[in-house]
Amino acid sequence: MEKKQTIKQYCHQFRLGGIYNQIDQLVSAAEAAGIGYLEYTVNLLKTEAVHRDYNDTQKRLKTAQLPRSSDLNLFQCKNDSGLSKARLNQLRELNWLDQVYNILLTGPSGTGKSMLAAGLCADAVQKGYKAYFRDMEGLINMFKMKDFSASAKIEYKRLSKAHLIVIDDLMSFPIEKNHAVSFF
């Protein structure tokens, strides 16, 4: 028991949260299976890697600021929307993102453009991309404030390193000419 406590202290010191939380189960499984040192070490490191990947994904999802309805598994492809199930699956593969293509979703209100865009953004985050969901008004305000506000400057730097920025409600409110020029 004292050795497990020592291991937990080292895990805390080295910030190995995955191993720290799972050490009891890992030791019990290793003892029951009679595995060797190398396999046990691999299991320890694999546990930590899974834990860190999960935490990293959760952090990116939070930073992306996705709306609640961003699960494309719930998206219904209708004949009148002009998007087939096959095309949706093709978009979800994110090849367009790897090939640095832009996508512009247009159509009447209520057809699911925002949900589709948010879902593609969520898929990108899940696959490890730096993807962000912002509305046009928030972006314009950030551009105005980036020279005066530390938080706006941080947001500007974050977005400048993004793989994907989803801009919701593009051109849905009037923009002054000088702000439009700086945006585009």
pLDDT(140) > 60 = yes
Same domain, 52 and 85: no
Last residue of a domain, one of 34, 64, 94: 64
Same domain, 53 and 116: no
- What does the alpha-carbon distance between residue 120 and residue 166 come to, in Å, rounded to a whole number? 9
Same domain, 125 and 177: yes
Same domain, 31 and 94: no
Same domain, 56 and 104: no
Domain that holds residue 19: 2-64
Same domain, 41 and 109: no
Same domain, 175 and 99: yes
> Which pLDDT band, with edges at 50, 70 and 90, does 87 fall under?
confident
Same domain, 58 and 89: no
| pLDDT value at residue 76 | 77
Last residue of a domain, one of 64, 88, 108: 64
Of residues 111 and 135, more confidently modeled: 135
- Per the prediction, the chain carries an average pLDDT of 86
Last residue of a domain, one of 30, 64, 98: 64
- What integer is the mean pLDDT of 19-39? 87
- What does the alpha-carbon distance between residue 17 and residue 63 come to, in Å, rounded to a whole number? 21
Write out the two tokens for 166.
Answer: 């989803």
Number of domains in the chain: 2
Question: How many percent of the chain have pLDDT more than 90?
Answer: 38
- What integer is the mean pLDDT of 139-152? 89
- Judge whether 68 and 119 are in contact, CB under 8 Å: no
